[in-house]
Amino acid sequence: MTRETTSFVYVTYIRSTPQKVFEAITRPDIAKRYWGHENVSDWKPGSKWEHIRANDERSVELIGKVVEISPPTRLVMTWANASQADDPTKHSRVTFAIEEYDTMVKLTVSHDELEAGSGMAKGISQGWPAVLSSMKSFLETGTGIDLFAKPKSA
Amino acid sequence: MDADKVFKALGDPTRRRLLDLLCEKNGQTLGQLCENLDMARQSATQHIDLLEAANLISTVKRGREKLHFINPVPLHEVYERWVRKFERQRLSLLHDLKQELEGDDQ
């Protein structure tokens, strides 16, 4: 049975260097400051990576494998809900492409092989724009956006 | 990248329709978009160029095709800057009003 898949491509321009952008994705101590999560791996092709909520519970929310890595310009990894790790049809693929662009860095995040209409497809289409604008804000000003912010009256 | 470009790109019904089309189905070719817009390629291309310059659309070459993807990252920045800030104030006003009317001693 073939499944219908969908893709998303997100682009942001950041006043920074490719090295800093690459580290913002792969270094837990940096990612937790703007993403609220850490990406934990030894970052070797074939190794697993885990997306861990940076709070006391440290729950593993996403898992996958490093497919390809060439610092500081390219990282490809598979991506799945930790609870759906055993189902290959739930694994999607994320590519980070980092290139110098004038005095900035162009960061392109392509999320492919997503099951069309799935919870993950909906989740990431809300998630990536928020994460990328928080990363941009963090790298340019030193302050990320609180991704878990709620209205004061909630 | 540039808020002026984002607002200018959004200030046109055809371009907003283009974004809606990509929201419904991401990754379309120019041909597919023209079909849905009922518009000649040349005029559609001009609109797409403006959206691309504002970084609201990104394109990817897949084989011989060029696919267009909606890129909502600049919209999120506009939202952070121009919506959420004011929304927070409004919500906290409602919160204060509710406290005032209901009293604090429940």
Q: A29-51: per-residue pLDDT in tens?
A: 999 999 999 999 999 999 999 99
Q: Which of A153, A147, A116 lies closest to B96 in space, CA to CA?
A: A153
Name the residue with tokens 């809900």: A81
Q: Is a pLDDT exceeding 90 seen at residue B21?
A: yes
- A5-141: CATH number: 3.30.530.20
Please state which of the ranges A44-48, B78-82, B91-95 shows the lowest mean pLDDT.
Answer: B91-95
Q: How far is A101 from chain B (nearest CA, A)?
A: 12
Residue contact B72–A145, C-beta within 8 A: no
Q: Does A109 or B104 have the greater pLDDT score?
A: A109
Complex confidence, ipTM: 0.78
| Interface probe with B: pick from A10, A16, A139, most Cβ of B within 10 Å | A10
Q: Judge if pTM exceeds 0.90.
A: no
pLDDT of residue A130: 92
Chain A nearest-CA residue for B98: A153
Residues of A in contact with B101 (CB under 8 A): none
3-state class of B29 per DSSP? coil
Q: Are A64 and A78 in contact (CB under 8 A)?
A: yes
Encoding tokens for residue A67? 């497919």
pLDDT grade for B106, boundaries at 50, 70 and 90 = very low
pLDDT of residue A152: 66
pLDDT tens digits, A86-115: 999 999 999 999 999 999 999 999 999 999
Q: Are A98 and A21 in contact (CB under 8 A)?
A: yes
Q: Please give, one letter per residue, the 3-state secondary structure of A21-32.
A: HHHHHHCHHHHH
